[in-house]
Chain A
Amino acid sequence: MRIHHARSGDLDWINQLQHTTFHGYVHSVFDRTINVECSENGELYTLACQHLDNAPNTMLIDMDRFSELAIKVNDKVYADQRIVHIGDQLLIVMDQVTTWECQLPFFPNDIGSVINHLAFTKKIIEQRGKCGGMKPDLTTSSIFEQETSRLLSERSLMLQEALLQHRVSDALRHAAGLIGLGPGLTPSGDDFLVGLLSTFHMENSLGRIYLGFGEKIVDVARTLTNEISYTALKQASKGRVRESITRLLHSITCGKQEELILSLDKVLNIGSSSGTDIVYGIVCGLEINIKAGGTVCPQKL
């Protein structure tokens, strides 16, 4: 049995672990993360290695990888007296854990710098974004990848158009066509929507009129994608996204270009093409904000 310490974690989950009981089992094991399904509410929670960033329902542990432990799917997980037990392999002590809470930035009234930062962000995606998802790989000979990219591009554009024209039911249909679409554990369409939904939750964002739209997406997503990706979508629909995404939103809306490079780098490095797909979603959401300007009238929706 190895003993490790929790470094930081999502405020809500840490509170739950410290003040109530928690029972569950290991849902899936990766090199640097373990997902745990809670028996009480059926939600997924994540134990992650220390170099990853904070995220909703996530606790960071002072470890570099889990693959050296023999933790298996369905191993029992429970927490009592500020200690999390993972099967017979790992004890996580929460005596020094700090808490993290997702805080999205305020969308500024002066959008000049947002426009500049978005242009810069697009340039960086063009240069360093990873192909295979929202960014098509023009050289691939895989007909699956070619068709996936075509659908991703077509449906994301139609979604943006529908949102700009306040055609919510059309937007929902196009969003549903993105859920579960694409290679990877978190399909590219899901990642795009995570980025998009995060922008709707920024204070002062015109996109806040679409918060109901986000909730509807989650309703349809339950059967359209896997549990891991669904959890990220569900959290994003509540304005809860990982720390690197909140930092990127901060940098685009009110940061300096130097910070933006750093934040972009961090997000673009998520997964294979996941980070790039998320940034595409963020760009789409912020452009909706900018293009809509002051013309959006919530009463019409």
Chain B
Amino acid sequence: MSTKVVIKQSTYFDSVSLMSLSTKANQIEGVEQAVIAMGTEMNKEVLRNVGLLTPELEEAKTSDLMIVVKAATDELCESAFLKIEELFKNKGVAKGTSDIKYPTIDSAAKSIPEANLAVISVNGAYAAREARKALDNDLHVMLFSDNVSIEDEIALKQYAHEKGLLVMGPDCGTAIIGNVALCFGNSVRRGNIGIVGASGTGSQEVSVRIHDFGGGITQLIGTGGRDLSEQVGGIMMLDGMKALDEDEATKVIVLISKPPAPSVEKKVLDQIKLCKKPVVVYFIGGTEESVVAAGGHFAKTSKEAALKAVVLAGADESTINKRALNIPLVEEIRAKLTPEQKYIRGLFCGGTLCDEAMYIAMDKFDNVYSNIQKNPDYKLKDLHVSKEHTFLDLGDDDFTNGKPHPMIDPSTRIARFLQEAKDPEVGVIVMDFILGFGSHEDPVGVMLPAIIEAKELAAKEGRHLEILGYVLGTDLDSPKIEDQVNKLMEAGVTIASSSTNAGLLSREFVVKGA
């Protein structure tokens, strides 16, 4: 093990930059520990306590910046330092800005009279007030903020409905309007399929699959996760459906949500009957009969929803690569796993992707635990310890308290991944890697050192650890999906071609005695 130290004399970086640099330094390939901190006596005491203090560091002054890297070899240390220097240079570059800032929604609306939509991301306590101001200015609203009361949500949506406007949210993370992705979204081609989604990554997945099957979308309207609750009554899903039904460019409508409250489901089904266009319904874990009875097209999975939409929109089904499940691969992986390796561990950034994989597993297994399980018997009691088949939505409030979403900061998932990889009963770990606007700039790259470490650990213990990855993105996204997939494959990760296939493959890998 090698430790290298650099002391930057009289160097000050603001706290946000320092913490960000420290996080990134710890993610550099080969780095076991990286510390970037001011050279105070107390910080030196901490370094001494954890065995990282060197005589050189003893000399650091309170105004000096200490950089310490511990890695397996001198070469890895050197290489890490070069990368850290690069990070410092990037931080040091003064950046100009072309953003125009307006202090209020009113002044922005006056200055840009052609604007017709406001994206609001402020503290939940003020989000409703700002959203109302936007509606007063005849702007549609995308409300990224959460912690908005349900009473405010209802009032805003009713007000918007009366004005013929949309309120996407609160807690709405995904929309694509006029081919522009807002908040979290992917680059997909324009087409003739419109989406109304109450779940963010579910909507991303369906839009990406539509793109993959050769189709394109007109608009992706987010509703916020509570829209289909009894209280809100699906106001925005119904208005979104009507808007797409009236939109000339839209030929097919896709609805995505967790199962709605019964009274809301009835309203949505009644609306489907009134629609002039075909409607594909993907209610995760939902049932087929009522959808078909209403004249809708039921989809059990996100992939099926996208495929049905593309075909209904005019594509020739025989020309579509449906990305069939690789059955020989299933046999191959089953043969590599020992009888004890019988559990799936799903570590997801995307809530809907987690949900889909979990429901697919529940089709064959009873013992499926999660932090987002509806059934209280199978809801994880201790979130830090997995049980049998466990699927974690790491973007849920359970894990993001005081921390950024794992699509932005992967540290929570890295730590949990290494924990799961040590469990000899784990057969497969399945993970999503989400590309596109708002996501991490290299979601695969930050996980790779942990993946390599886990594989090596399992090999030392004489077991095969199957890691299944799904990269959600299109060929138009940045970073390039091809590069991300190749990096995973080079590290020995099996690639699933869709969220649905990720769920199916992970389930089939651990089926015993089939």
Residue positions of A touching B, CB distance < 8 A: 28, 30-31, 64-65, 67-68, 73, 126-132, 135, 137-144, 147-148, 151, 177-187, 189, 223-228, 258, 261-262, 265, 271-274, 276
Distance from A176 Cβ to chain B, minimum over Cβ atoms (Å):
9
How far apart are B151's CB and chain A's nearest CB, in angstroms? Answer: 15
Given contacts A68-B94, A140-B411, contact A31 B14 (CB under 8 A): yes
Q: B interface vs A, CB < 8 Å?
A: 10, 12-16, 18-20, 22, 26, 33-38, 40-43, 45-47, 49-50, 52, 62-63, 94-97, 101, 123, 125-126, 384, 401-403, 411-412, 414-416, 418
What residue of chain B has the Cβ atom nearest to residue A132's Cβ?
B19
B19 in contact with A226 (CB, 8 Å): no
Report B-chain residues with C-beta under 8 Å of the C-beta of A182.
37, 42-43
Residue of B nearest to A68 (CB): B96
Nearest CB of B to A151, in Å = 7
A64/B18 in contact, CB under 8 A: no
A183: nearest chain-B partner, CB-CB: B37
Q: When chains A and B are docked, how far (Å) is the Cα of A126 from the Cα of B398?
A: 12
Whether A226 contacts B38 by the Cβ 8 Å rule is yes
Q: Which residues of A contact B20 (CB under 8 A)?
A: 272
- Residue on B nearest A227 in the bound complex, by CB: B63
- Contacting pair B40 A187 (CB below 8 A): yes
Tell which of A28, A178, A276 touches B12, judged by Cβ atoms closer than 8 Å: A28
**What's the nearest-Cβ distance from chain A to residue B66, in Å?**
10
Across the interface, do B18 and A144 meet the contact criterion of CB distance under 8 Å? no
Within 8 Å CB of B35, what residues of A? Answer: 142, 144
Q: List 8 A-B contacts (CB under 8 A).
A: A127-B401, A131-B402, A140-B415, A144-B50, A148-B43, A180-B38, A184-B15, A224-B40
Q: Does B15 contact A139, Cβ atoms closer than 8 Å?
A: no
Known contacts A144-B50, A147-B46, A180 near B18 by CB under 8 Å = no
Q: In the complex the two chains form, what is the Cα distance from A224 to B40 in whole Å?
A: 6
Closest Cβ of chain B: how far from A228's Cβ, in Å? 7
Partner of A273, one of B10, B15, B415: B15
Question: B411 — which chain A residues lie within 8 A by C-beta?
Answer: 139-141
CB within 8 Å for A151 and B14 given contacts A139-B416, A226-B62: no
Closest 3 CB pairs of A and B: A180-B40, A181-B42, A184-B15
Kindly report which residue of chain B lies nearest to residue A71, judged by CB atoms: B94
- Chain A interface helix/strand/loop/mixed: loop
Given A131-B402, A137-B403, A142-B33, residue A272 in contact with residue B15 (CB < 8 A): yes
Residues in chain A near residue B13, CB distance under 8 A: 30, 185
The residue in B10, B16, B95, B101 that gathers the most chain A C-beta atoms within 10 A of its C-beta is B16
Q: A179-B42, A181-B45 are in contact. List 19 more A-B contacts (CB 8 A).
A: A64-B101, A128-B402, A130-B403, A139-B415, A139-B416, A140-B415, A144-B35, A151-B42, A181-B42, A181-B46, A185-B13, A185-B14, A185-B15, A223-B41, A223-B62, A224-B62, A226-B62, A272-B19, A273-B15
Chain A residue with the shortest CB-CB distance to B11: A28
| With contact pairs A144-B50, A272-B19 given, residues A185 and B38 touching in the complex (Cβ less than 8 Å) | yes
A175 to B97, CA, bound (A): 42
Highest count of chain B CB atoms <10 Å: which of A177, A185, A261:
A185
Give min CB distance, A33 to chain B, whole Å. Answer: 8
- With a cutoff of 8 Å between Cβ atoms, the chain A residues found around residue B40 in the complex are 179-181, 187, 224-226
Nearest A residue (CB) for B63: A226
B42 touches A224 (CB 8 A): yes
B47 to chain A, nearest CB (A): 7
Query: Hey, which chain B residues are within 8 Å of A227, CB to CB?
Result: 62-63
Contacts of A132 in B (CB 8 A): 19
| Given A131-B402, A144-B52, A224-B62, residue A189 in contact with residue B42 (CB < 8 A) | yes
**Would A143 and B33 be within 8 Å (CB), given that A64-B101, A185-B13, A261-B123 are in contact?**
yes
* Chain B residue nearest to A51 in the complex (CB): B101
* B-chain residues with CB within 8 Å of residue A28 when the two chains form the complex: 12
Contact A271 B415 (CB under 8 A): no
Which residues of the partner chain B approach A138 to less than 8 Å between Cβ atoms? Answer: 384
Contact A144 B14 (CB under 8 A): no
Check B46 against A144 for contact (C-beta < 8 Å). yes
Residues of A within 8 A of B38 (CB): 180, 184-185, 187, 225-226
Question: Which A residues are CB-close (under 8 A) to B18?
Answer: 183-185, 272
Most buried by A among B43, B412, B415: B43
